Chain A
Amino acid sequence: KQEVTQIPAALSVPEGENLVLNCSFTDSAIYNLQWFRQDPGKGLTSLLLIQSSQREQTSGRLNASLDKSSGRSTLYIAASQPGDSATYLCAAIGNQFYFGTGTSLTVIP
């Protein structure tokens, strides 16, 4: 069974810092990997989808990379802002979405 782990579980940084969130998965036979953010009491908002044939995707200040062979993905957030505070979830996509337990990010003004 696919196991997805996210490190760190929680992260607190001052505004303006660049940061990296890590996601690892045990089964490299995935279709894609998708990153989401979840604000308290809300649903999931899609950030980036990386297809299995790709190595990275960029959207604004976000950059996500994928290394299928090593079972790892990273989400890089540049110049963090207080509005980035949320829980970030990665999902390895096979027959279903296998979610990690998330990284809770707090950006301090």
Chain B
Amino acid sequence: GAGVSQSPSNKVTEKGKDVELRCDPISGHTALYWYRQSLGQGLEFLIYFQGNSAPDKSGLPSDRFSAERTGGSVSTLTIQRTQQEDSAVYLCASSLDQGARRTEAFFGQGTRLTVV
């Protein structure tokens, strides 16, 4: 596609339920990032995938959060047993990183998650 696509755009879920958020990066981009943005807060790093390397999971806030990237393309962020504090906009970005060279990153429109 022309840009980074995220789905769903909005998700309302009950506390305790599991949710899956999807990110389709720009075709050919090797790097994929997940961030979240809580109301009135800055962007919080969650996880980074680069090619076939082990992902950098250092930003995941708890073991309820996990992410995978299949075939070096689509990524899914899973939140288990959702809590109200998980409510935020989850943003995905991709870039054509080449080794140590970081290139321009493009963000999707985000998934607004509301836990009630």
Contacts and interface: CB of A to CB of B under 8 A. Distances in A.
Interface residues of A, number: 22
B91 A43 contact: yes
A96 B100 contact: no
**Interface residues of B: mostly helix, strand, loop or mixed?**
strand
Nearest to A4: B42
A93 B59 CA distance: 15
Interface residues of B, number: 24
B105 A102 contact: no
B19 to A, nearest CB: 19
A96 B56 contact: yes
A36 B105 CA distance: 10
A43 B109 contact: yes
Closest 3 CB pairs of A and B: A31-B102, A44-B107, A43-B109
Interface of A: 31-32, 34, 36, 41-46, 49, 89, 91, 93, 95-102
18 contacts: A31-B100, A31-B101, A32-B102, A41-B112, A42-B110, A43-B91, A43-B107, A43-B108, A44-B107, A46-B104, A46-B107, A89-B43, A95-B48, A96-B33, A97-B105, A99-B42, A101-B42, A102-B42
